[in-house]
Amino acid sequence: MPTKHITIPTPGTDCPAYLVSPSGVGPWPAVVFYGDAGGIRPAMLEMATRLSEAGYVVLLPDLYYRFGPYAPLVPTEVFKGDVAAILGPLMATTGVDKVRKDTESFLAYLDTRSDIASAGFGAVGFCMGGGMAIAAAATYPHRFSAVASFHGGHLATDSPTSPHLLVPNLAAQVYIASAENDDSYPPAMAACLEDAMTRAGVRYRSEIYRDASHGWMVPDFPVYDQVSADRGWEAMLALFSQALPS
């Protein structure tokens, strides 16, 4: 798959990103990929490439661009140490509200490309990125037709930036995939999010992946589960195939 390292102008500074395109001549539907708390690293590019191989232009922005350059993180090593000390400074530079603003720049960049179908985009997020993907789709409801969240955490909280507060603005079809073992998305939180989507009339499907743990989709996570991951990919691609233009 053709992969380009690009920079996207945003207010204040540029955001490094990767653009992964299918081989051949487009136009293709586009998906914005909101990564996890581990930042840009080979596993994220591997996942973006897999999505591109299915026929999508994939934009993978570095959500930590405000932090500045950082070495690629290795989750197995991060989890052996002080996770808060390692990830905290990076995570402090981003968040739902910042990503909502950043997405305007991401969409503006995609609009400059002639190889992208002009109708609705997709959004997918993993872990930290799950709530960001939902928030982005709700902030730009006329631009996103489908959004998938995999083991997204803190999707319905008391925070004024909680993604569930934006649900009434969603026009996209939504897929929520949660892990049975995930302290960041307990059953009460899932019920709150689903109630918000039901009351807002959102077209959504929510599934609990039994015996899976937070991060099961990401191949460099210690809890990676290939069987559950393949199931997740099947569900994601089915959603995008049905909702996005070809």
The 10s digit of each residue's pLDDT in 35-55 is 999 999 999 999 999 999 999
Report DSSP letters for the chain, one per residue. Answer: --EEEEEEE-SSSEEEEEEE--SSS--B-EEEEE--TT-SSHHHHHHHHHHHHTT-EEEEE-TTTTT---PPP-HHHHTTS-HHHHHHHHHTT--HHHHHHHHHHHHHHHHT-TTB-SS-EEEEEETHHHHHHHHHHHHSTTTEEEEEEES---SS-SSTT-GGGGGGG--SEEEEEEEEE-TTS-HHHHHHHHHHHHHHT--EEEEEEEEEETTTT-TTSTT--HHHHHHHHHHHHHHHHHHS--
- Enclosing domain of residue 38: 3-243
Query: For the whole model, what pTM was predicted?
Result: 0.96
* CATH number of the domain enclosing 107: 3.40.50.1820
* pLDDT tens digits for range 142-166: 999 999 999 999 999 999 999 999 9
Q: Beta strand 121-126 with 173-181: parallel, antiparallel or unpaired?
A: unpaired
- The pLDDT value recorded for residue 188 is 97
Number of domain units in the chain: 1
